[in-house]
Amino acid sequence: MTHEFTAPGELGEPSVEAAEVPEPGAVTVVVPTFNESGNVRQLLHQITESVPSRLPCEVVFVDDSTDDTPQVIKEAAQDCPFPVTVIHRDEPVGGLGGAVVEGMKAAGSDWIVVMDGDCQHPPSLVPELVATGERANAGLVVASRYIKGGSRAGLAGSYRVAVSRMATWLTKSLFPRRLHGISDPMSGFFAIRRSDITADALKPLGYKILLELAVRSRPRTVTEVPFVFQERFAGESKSTAAEGRRFLRHLAGLRTADPLARMVVFGLIGLTGFVPNLVALWAMTRAGLHYLPAEIVANQFGVAWNFLLIEKLLFRDRRVHRHWADRTIRFALLANADLVLRIPLIALLVGQFGLAVLPATALALVITFVLRFVGTEALVYLPSRRSGRRPGSRTA
């Protein structure tokens, strides 16, 4: 990672002091960029026209570009009456959301405003976001397209409008409590107090950083202001099918962060494992294999199916703690131990506690399910004490 500091009137000389010691009541504008060389000059011009006269500011670009965007920013900053910082990341960890978190950590002001680098978010609203937060004593102020006075006019085409509506509905349905009072959780334009951020609690993935903030580190008081979403000044949208898939993975990760939610998903995945299990059992018994060895072999098909889904959907971010072969063996042993434990447990419940066979079987299923979930989380996906592996290290 490289850092470049440009301050006005110094011919491009570094100015760390200017970026780190803002005036009282100042705002840091954090702008994540990826190949926005056609937009950043216009964006800085718009900020210059509307922000410094009302509120002291600094601008921090966190850049993941493969083009000349950092150089264009540096040149354009010569005409700006406020400090401009460029942080270029060689590895774009966490995507756009990760870039925003990096910018928040570098901010020197109490208020931080996050906005896109394509000029679709009007800089003239920056002072109003901060002023609204001060008046309401809020920790988060969201610029919303979906309250009175707001508009999504800049969304190009009916397809993007439909996708935006669906994403908003889905997120608000999944997180009704955490997103209460936020009409536009997909907004990339918002202001937050630096003191209300728990940066280490954030695990950004993709470009919906507001959703990440609201779910994992929501301030106590949240308010909104309307804004009109503008058309992109230059270039093309970065919204792709790959970003859509990453967004869905992010939603799954956020929803299963709660232990009870993880257990529910674990159980649902386990239920789907009956399909490959029964199909394999049917095929082997039809081929003439005795039902007992067929049941044992068929169970392994269900175990393999469950393991693949759990790896992809439930514990994706925890796979770094152990090698894939270690995880596979541990999961298989736990899954088959469940089968071995259930029969003597049913016998115990019937013989010693006098339960009928059906309720004893149901209770045994619940007990072994809870044990299997706890064992899977603790013995397969949590780091071992002797492991020197750190989150982020590469595994298969």
Residue 165: partners with Cβ closer than 8 Å, 6 or more residues away: none
Structure token pair of residue 278: 């029964």
State how far the Cα of 221 lies from the Cα of 244, in Å rounded to an integer: 30
DSSP β-bridge partners for residue 142: 190, 224
Whole-angstrom Cα distance, residue 24 to residue 137? 17
- Determine the CATH number of domain 2-255: 3.90.550.10
Q: Can you give the pLDDT of all 396 residues of the chain as single tens digits?
A: 444 444 443 333 333 333 343 444 689 999 999 888 889 999 999 999 999 989 999 999 999 888 889 999 999 999 899 999 999 998 877 777 888 888 888 888 989 999 988 888 999 999 999 999 999 999 999 999 989 988 876 665 566 667 777 878 888 888 888 888 899 888 889 999 988 877 666 776 656 788 888 888 788 899 999 998 887 666 565 556 666 677 777 677 766 666 777 777 888 888 888 788 888 888 888 888 887 788 778 888 888 998 998 888 778 777 877 888 889 998 888 888 877 787 788 888 888 888 887 788 778 878 888 888 888 888 888 776 555 444 444 344
Q: Round to the nearest angstrom and report the end-to-end CA distance of the chain.
A: 26
Within a 10 A sphere around the Cβ of 111, how many other Cβ atoms? 25
Q: In terms of Cα–Cα distance, which of 69, 74, 94, 93 is closest to 84?
A: 74
pTM score: 0.63
Burial of 130 (0-12, 13-18, 19+ CB in 10 A): buried
Residue-wise DSSP of 206-218: SS-HHHHHHHHH-
